[in-house]
Every structure is written in C-alpha cells, then in structure tokens.
Amino acid sequence: MKIKCSLDIGAWFDIISVYNVKINSCPKEASEKNKVNFQNLEKEISECIGAAKFKEIIDSDFYKELYQTNLDIFKLVDKVKEEPGIAKDMDALNYKRYIVKSGLQENFFGSKMSEIKIGY
C-alpha cells in the first residue's frame, strides 16, 4: 500500500539516493526492484518540482555527497554485523547524511527541513 505524505525535499532525495545505492550494490533481482522504486519516486518528485530541477539536483555535488554518505553507511552496516565496535562511526555518518540532505534542501529550495536531530 502506498500513501501520499509530506516530507522535506531533502528527505525525498535521501530516499532516492538509498534506492540508487541499492541499485548499484544489490544482487540483480533486488537491484531491479530498487530501479523500479527509483523510477516511480523520480516521476513523483519530477511532477512536484519539474524534471529540470530534479536533474539539477541529481547532478549536484549535494546529491553526490548524499549518495556517497549513504553508500558509506551501507558499507558500515555490513561491517557492524562483524565488528560491533564501530557503532560510533555509523552514528557520525548518519549525522553527516542529515547535514547533507539539509544542505540540499536549503540550497535548492531555500527552506529548512522539519526533521530535527537530537543530541548534536
């Protein structure tokens, strides 16, 4: 079941970057499912902000950094399964992801995210 919900633009691009990481990192079947998810979300976002703005964001350094941060998080999650002592690194990357998606939203839309991080 899918519902329409209000999320900050930075959060939507965080989600789409996670799909992109999974497309490039998962086995073929899972990669294909994530490609469909990416395309569906791309269509929805483009309908809201326009295809040109979507492409501008996807091609931006903000998005590239968000993608890389999510890729690093996925790699750390795999390590945590074997070495539970690296949880602090995971926390730091998760916070970095928040900073990057906040910057993306402020840069392209001039608004702050409603998501609040506690303890930083």
Residue 16's CB is within 10 A of a number of other CB atoms, namely 23
The model's pTM is: 0.78
Per-residue pLDDT of the chain (120 residues; tens, 9 = 90+): 566 778 899 999 999 999 999 999 888 888 888 899 999 999 999 999 999 999 999 999 999 999 999 999 988 887 876 776 788 788 788 889 889 999 999 999 998 877 766 556
User: Are 15 and 41 contacting, i.e. CB atoms less than 8 angstroms apart?
Assistant: yes
Residue 24 domain-assigned?
A: yes
Give the torsion through C-alpha atoms of 103, 109, 111, 112, to 10 deg.
-30
Residue 90 domain-assigned?
A: yes
Domain count, the chain: 1
Range of the domain at 51: 9-109
C-alpha distances (whole Å) from 6 to each of 44, 94, 99 are 12, 22, 20
Residue 103 domain-assigned?
A: yes
